[in-house]
Amino acid sequence: MLKKYVMGNWKLQGNLADNKALIEGLRAELPTLDARVGMAVCPVAPYIPQVKELTAGSGISVGAQDVSEFAKGAYTGEMAAGMLKDVGVEFVLVGHSERRTYHGENSAQIARKAQAVIGAGLVPVVCIGESLDERNAGQTKAVLTEQLDALFAVVGTDNGNIVIAYEPRWAIGTGVSATTEQIADVHTFLRDYLTKRSAAVAGLPILYGGSMNGANAASIAALPNVDGGLIGSAALKPAEFAAIYKALVASVA
Asked if 233 interacts with ligand 13P (CB under 6 A), we say: yes
Dihedral sign computed on CA atoms, order 185, 189, 194, 196 = positive
C-beta closer to ligand 13P: residue 19 or 72: 19
Q: Which of 104, 127, 102 is nearest to 117 (CA)?
A: 127
Say whether 228 sits in a helix, a strand or coil.
strand
CA quadruple 173, 178, 179, 182: dihedral, nearest 10? -170
Interface region with ligand 13P, contact rule CB under 6 A, candidates 48-56, 110-118, 197-205, 228-236: 228-236
| Phi and psi, residue 74, nearest 5° | -85, 75
Looking at the Cβ atoms of 101 and 195, the one nearer to ligand 13P is 101
**What's the CA gap between 61 and 73, in Å, rounded?**
28
Site for ligand 13P in 75-114 (CB under 6 A): 96
Decide whether 7 or 70 has the Cβ nearer to ligand 13P: 7
Q: Do the beta carbons of residue 143 and residue 182 sit within 8 Å?
A: no
Output 6 or 23, the one with its CB closest to ligand 13P: 6
Catalytic residue, from 69, 105, 134, 167: name it. 167
Contact 105, 69 (CB under 8 A): no
- Least gap, CB of 217 to ligand 13P (angstroms): 11
Active site residue 96: yes
Q: Which of the residues 96, 98, 105, 240 is marked catalytic?
A: 96
Q: Is 146 a catalytic residue?
A: no
* C-alpha count within 13 angstroms, C-beta hemisphere, residue 149: 6
Instruction: Burial-class residue 95 by CB neighbours within 10 Å (0-12, 13-18, 19+).
Output: buried
Q: Which of 126, 178, 231, 248 binds ligand 13P (CB under 6 A)?
A: 231
Identify the burial level of 30 via C-beta atoms within 10 angstroms of its C-beta, where 0-12 means exposed, 13-18 middle and 19 or more buried: buried
Distance of closest approach, residue 42 Cβ to ligand 13P, in angstroms: 8
Nearer to ligand 13P, 74 or 100 (CB): 100
Q: Which of residues 159-218 bind ligand 13P (CB under 6 A)?
A: 167, 172-173, 209-212
Size of the site for ligand 13P (CB under 6 A): 14
Site for ligand 13P, rule CB under 6 A? 9, 96, 167, 172-173, 209-212, 230-234
The residues annotated as belonging to the active site are: 96, 167
